Each structure stands twice: as C-alpha cells, then as structure tokens.
Amino acid sequence: MNEEQHSLLLNSSSRFIPPQGVKLSYGTAGFRADASLLPSTVFRVGILAALRSLKTRSVTGLMITASHNQVSDNGVKVADPNGGMLSQHWEPFADALANAPSPQHLILLINEFVEKEGISMDGAGTLEVLLGRDTRPSGDALLQAAKQGVTSIVGAVATDLGILTTPQLHWMVRARNKGMKASEQDYFEQLSSSFRCLVDLIPTEKSKFNGVNDKVVVDGANGVGGVKLKDLGKLLNALAIEVRNSSEDGGVLNDGVGADYVQKEKVVPHGFGSKDAGIRCASLDGDADRLVYFIVPPESSGRIDLVDGDKILSLFALFIREQLSFLNEKEDINQARLGVVQTAYANGASTNYLKQLGLEVNFTPTGVKYLHEKAAEFDIGIYFEANGHGTVLFSESFVGGLEARTNKIASGSKGSEREKAALRLLAVSKLINQAVGDALSGLLLVEVILQHMGWSIHRWNDLYHDLPSRQLKVKVADRTAVVTTNAETVVVSPPGLQEAINEETARYPQGRCFVRPSGTEDVVRVYAEASTQETADTLANSVARLVDQFLGSNSS
C-alpha cells in the first residue's frame, strides 16, 4: 500500500469509528442492525466492495437494505461480479473489517488481506461499484457512508443508481459484467419483452385464460417493490396489476404487510379483505426479492390460503418440464438435465409431489448461497424457499443451444411445438432474474404460466396439500454443541440425540422432524411435520424437550 492510499484510508476511516460493544457478522443478508449503528459498517463495506472490484477486475455492487426487517433497521451487502452474493471466501474478511476497533487496525487488516490475496493496490486503474438503496429513511445517509468507503480506495468510482429493489441492483451488476445494457429501463424492457414473447406463445385454446380473471392484486409491503411494479406494469398489455401498500401510499414499511408477514402469519395484509375473495393476490417483501401468493376465502375472518415458494417452485418445474419434453422428444438431442433444489424446511408434500413428477430433487443446508450453488450444477436448476425467495438458473451452454435453435425460426408464433418450446425456454431465461431471487420477474413468470396452463389460482393451489407443520426454537448456552449433516437433517452431535428424535418421530403418521443450530442466535431450531396439526405440534414439543435434555438448555 503506497503512501497516498494509506493516507486516504486513514483520513476517511477516522470519521467512521464503530460503536462500542457492537459485533456484527456477515451472513446471507449481509450486515443488518438498527440503522443508527451502521454508518461505520457501511463505510467499511464500501471499502470491501471496491477491493472486490479490484481483485476481480469487474464491476461489483453494494445494496443498502434490511429487506423484511422493521423500518428502523437497515443493512448492507455486496453483489459479486456474477450478480450473486459475496464469495463465501471473503465473508471472514468482511467480519474482520466491520469489527476492527480503530483506523489503524483497519489498515493493518487490509494490508494483510490484499497481500494474502495477491491484490495490487498501486496504480489500480478505474474500479466501479454500483450503489443502490431501498426506501428506508436512513438509506440516504448510509449511502453517503458507502460512497466514502468506496472512494477510499484509489481509483475506485461509486455510481449511485438511486432507489432500487435488491434484485434490480444484482441484475445490473451481472448485466454490466456481461457487456449488456444495464440501466433500470433496460431491466424493465427485458422483463416486459420476455413476458410478451411468452404470452404470444400461449396455445390458442388457452389464450383467453379460460375465463379466469386476468387481474392480480399485489401487496407492495409499503416498500420499493410496489413503485417499481407500477412502472413495469405500464409496459404490459396482457396483465392487469393493481398495487396496494406501495411506498408512496404512506404506510409503514413491513408493518402488517409484506411477504414475510403474510407467509408467517397466514393472514391478509393491511388493505386486503373479503372484497378480494376469489382474486389472485400476491405479496412482495420490503426490497422485492421474495414473492408469495395468497387466496382470500369468502369467509376468511382475516385468514388466508397461502400459496408459498414451494408452490411457485412446483409451478415453474411443471412448465419447464413440459417444454423440455417437447425439446427432448427426438433421440438426437442431448437430454437437458433439470434439477430442483430445496432445503429441509420445504414442506414434505411439495417434495413428494416433485418426486412423483419424476424430477431430480436435491437438498442443501439452509441459506440461499447453498441453494444457488447447487442449482448452478444443472442445465436448468430451480430453487425456492417456502418464504418466497428463489429463481431459475440456466447454464450458458444450454442457453447457447437454445439461441442457435431459435435463430432458425422465422416467427415465434409459428412452427412445431418443439420450436415453440425452445422459444419459450429462451424467453424464460431472459424473464427470470438469474442473479438472485426477484419478486417482480417471478410474478410475471407465475402469471404467464398460469395463462399458458389456463389455470386459476385455486387450480394451482390444489397441486398438492401441505402437511401440517410447526417450528419452535430452544434457547441454548452454546448452539455449536449441535452438529448436523445431510443438509442439516441429521444430528451427529451430541451423541444419541438423533436416535431419540427418530424414535419419537416414528410414533406419528407422516411424521418428519429435524433440529439445527441457528446461524444468528443461541437457539436450536425444531421443525416438525405430521398428518394433523395437533400431532405436528406434539412432535415439535416432544423433540424440543429432547434438545433440552441432551443440551441442558432453557426452552422458550
């Protein structure tokens, strides 16, 4: 590190001293905390993003958001050059940066890390970090901290893209590094044109949606997604979108609204009620990277029928499987490998349904980074969590094959079913956000598949019926005492606990139960399923007591 760089870092970091007694950890969500605690952390993540750009010689991104958290919170995370999350290899460095107690410690850490990684900080050239933020009041001040962090690295440029959804920022980073147009308008145009292409390819007999209402009513969580969806909706003519709870409507972000609230509480968000019975309803989370649908029953008393991420995954898998069956009908075509990826929290009924379709179902530990990595192993990989976060990944070689095939087709509305299937899959690869889960692109894909199938939301929801489940948590002194394997479904330590869980689970029809240590707090999480809600509750409580017995813990 030369003298200019050392002086620049020392001067800038001296203005952002971390609060005492606060230790933050970088996870799937990046760093999150009360916004008042974050200026120094966001400043340092700006440095991190610039160093990542320097290491990869690519554009990186920095997003300021706390997603579905309360409005007083905020957070920050880095988008890697491929549009995905920060490389796991860099997460310990992120923790060390955020928690360095002084500017001197910070500079020492940076020096040691860049030397270990072989990063030259002398005459680095132009580096760029794209910055985005959600609608939180604290966002602008934190953005200024991020800018100062980025520009503390010689040659680094911070490009403020304004208020965005998290998936938009990830999409733009990925697009920039692929040499594509990458403005917000480019994002809207790619999604809308791909949607229109899929609409044009709907079979004639289903083009009228079989009389099903073509309107969807969307809860925007009083966040950024509602505004962006309104802008996107102006480019669509085959779908009517009504947005409620947009950030401009004056409601409180994530307060009684949003995908997280709807999925966990299974009640209507603010602004919805019996008047919406029979209409397709959907809910975004605060930064629009999660999507769930729901049905308001005629006599709901506030309750809903939830159509969650597992059902979205199943719908996507059905459609893509159908297109692949047309594409692969000739023996001279290499069979494309389609894979579905879930975590142990996926409802057992969804897993059974997917397996009955003959699909390859894989499991990973909890966390989007694990799901995304596994899905990338397939020609087409689909992953979703029940909370509504997920996407579809297409391998570059498979997309290249589709492009070569579709270039020979004069018109997407003509040709064989095999040719149309290739056009549909290519359009899906452009509609879905392959960088990260995206509620806006996901919603458009759900809507056009329902039109293609001629299905109502009720028909979709009836694909299978969820097994009753219960989640509990048990407070423990040391969560690391529980060690798991097999995608977190089997306990290997403490000895004997898994055998006790197996014995208890076997007592219940359709029983399934696993425990895993939390990644963020000293609790052990318990998940149980069974044939009835009563037995699922009993199983969960029984296993929670077993955790107590084996760990000498304090149940909550």
Three-point CA angle 439, 317, 295, nearest 5°:
55
Alpha helices in 178-268 (DSSP H): 184-200, 224-233, 259-265
CATH number of the domain within which 410 lies: 3.40.120
Parallel, antiparallel, or unpaired: how do β-strands 240-246 and 215-223 relate? parallel
Q: Residue 49: which domain range?
A: 3-163
CA torsion angle 347 349 351 353 (round to 10) = -150
Query: Do the beta carbons of residue 71 and residue 124 sit within 8 Å?
Result: no
Tokens standing for residue 483: 């060690």
pTM beyond cutoff 0.75: yes
* pLDDT (0 to 100) of residue 207: 54
At residue 284, does pLDDT exceed 90?
yes
Mark whether 421 and 478 lie in a shared domain: no
Tokens standing for residue 10: 């020392």
Phi, psi torsion values for 531, nearest 5 degrees? -70, -25
Q: Is residue 464 part of a domain?
A: no
Alpha helices in 289-416 (DSSP H): 309-327, 348-356, 368-375, 396-406
Q: Is residue 169 part of a domain?
A: no
Position 248, amino acid: E
Mark whether 11 and 157 lie in a shared domain: yes
* pLDDT (0 to 100) of residue 522: 81
* pLDDT (0 to 100) of residue 27: 85
H or E segment to which residue 56 belongs: helix 39-56
Tokens standing for residue 146: 């991020």
CATH number of the domain within which 475 lies: 3.30.310.50
Pairwise CA distance, residues 26 & 24, whole Å = 7
Question: pLDDT above 70 covers what percent of the chain?
Answer: 95
Q: Is residue 264 part of a domain?
A: no
Mark whether 375 and 496 lie in a shared domain: no
Mark whether 501 and 407 lie in a shared domain: no
H or E segment to which residue 106 belongs: helix 103-117
Mark whether 530 and 391 lie in a shared domain: no
Q: Is residue 24 part of a domain?
A: yes
Q: Is residue 394 part of a domain?
A: yes
Q: Is residue 176 part of a domain?
A: no
* Boundary (domain end) residue, out of 438, 454, 479: 438
Per the document, the length of the chain is 556
Lowest mean pLDDT among 116-130, 177-191, 198-212: 198-212
Mark whether 374 and 506 lie in a shared domain: no
pLDDT digits (tens, 9 = 90+) for 29-58: 899 999 999 999 999 999 999 999 999 999
Secondary structure (DSSP) of 145-198: HHHHHHTTSTTEEEEEEEE--HHHHHHHHHHHHTT---SHHHHHHHHHHHHHHH
Lowest mean pLDDT among 54-68, 190-204, 396-410, 488-502: 396-410
At residue 552, does pLDDT exceed 80?
no
Mark whether 495 and 426 lie in a shared domain: no
Average pLDDT over residues 137-144: 97
Lowest mean pLDDT among 62-66, 275-279, 390-394: 275-279
67 is catalytic: yes
* pLDDT (0 to 100) of residue 555: 42
* Boundary (domain end) residue, out of 134, 163, 192: 163
pLDDT digits (tens, 9 = 90+) for 345-370: 999 999 999 999 999 999 999 989 89
At residue 212, does pLDDT exceed 60?
no
* pLDDT (0 to 100) of residue 301: 80
Q: Is residue 429 part of a domain?
A: yes
* Boundary (domain end) residue, out of 137, 163, 189: 163
Mark whether 8 and 123 lie in a shared domain: yes
At residue 208, does pLDDT exceed 60?
no
Mean pLDDT over the full length of the chain: 92
CATH number of the domain within which 131 lies: 3.40.120.10
Mark whether 107 and 38 lie in a shared domain: yes
Mark whether 400 and 537 lie in a shared domain: no
Which one from 12, 13, 67, 441 is the annotated catalytic residue?
A: 67
Q: How confident is the model at residue 188 (pLDDT cuts 50, 70, 90)?
A: very high
Lowest mean pLDDT among 59-68, 209-218, 238-247, 311-320: 209-218
Residue 340 β-bridge partners: 361, 382
* pLDDT (0 to 100) of residue 556: 43
Pairwise CA distance, residues 218 & 222, whole Å = 11
| Closest listed residue to residue 517, CA positions, set 525, 507, 509, 528 | 525
At residue 332, does pLDDT exceed 50?
no
Query: Do the beta carbons of residue 44 and residue 31 sit within 8 Å?
Result: no
The tally of domains found in the chain comes to 3
Binding residues for substrate, by number, are 385-387, 516-520, 525
Helical packing angle, 309-327 and 439-453, nearest 10°? 60
Q: How confident is the model at residue 125 (pLDDT cuts 50, 70, 90)?
A: low
At residue 211, does pLDDT exceed 90?
no
Binding residues for Mg(2+), by number, are 67, 285, 287, 289
Mark whether 483 and 431 lie in a shared domain: no
Binding residues, by number, are 67, 285, 287, 289, 385-387, 516-520, 525
* pLDDT (0 to 100) of residue 441: 98
Rg (alpha carbons) of the chain, rounded to whole number: 24
Q: Is residue 446 part of a domain?
A: no
Mark whether 520 and 394 lie in a shared domain: no
